[in-house]
Amino acid sequence: MPAKIGFNNEKYLKEQTSAILKRMKKFEGKLYLEFGGKIIFDYHASRVLPGFDPNVKMRLLQQLKDDADIADKLDPYIDPSILPFRALGRFLR
């Protein structure tokens, strides 16, 4: 019996992008976000949420790439050249 899909990635992307852009307008274009779990390769979430794309958070950031800077807390083993946005924090040290 196939696993039931319980997470809609496209709906998540649409609603989160809209909510983030709306909140950015309230704060003069500056909004600090904290992501729970891993930004990429979040296999734990994909195991517990059937249908969850392990890279959906990265896809969200790709949609916001013209407005997003990522600061600190990035995995030091991630190659910054694969990121679709300007990375700050550990990569600038």
Which residue in this structure is represented by tokens 């990635």?
Answer: 9
Chain segment 27-80, per-residue pLDDT in tens: 877 777 777 778 888 888 888 888 999 999 889 988 887 776 666 555 566 665
pLDDT score at 10: 93
Q: Give CA–CA dist 80/74, Å, rounded.
A: 10
Chain segment 6-38, per-residue pLDDT in tens: 789 999 999 999 988 888 888 877 777 777 778
As a dihedral over the C-alpha atoms of residue 77, residue 66, residue 25, residue 40, rounded to 10 degrees, the angle is -30
CB atoms within 10 A of CB 61: 22
pLDDT bucket at 88, cuts 50 / 70 / 90: very low
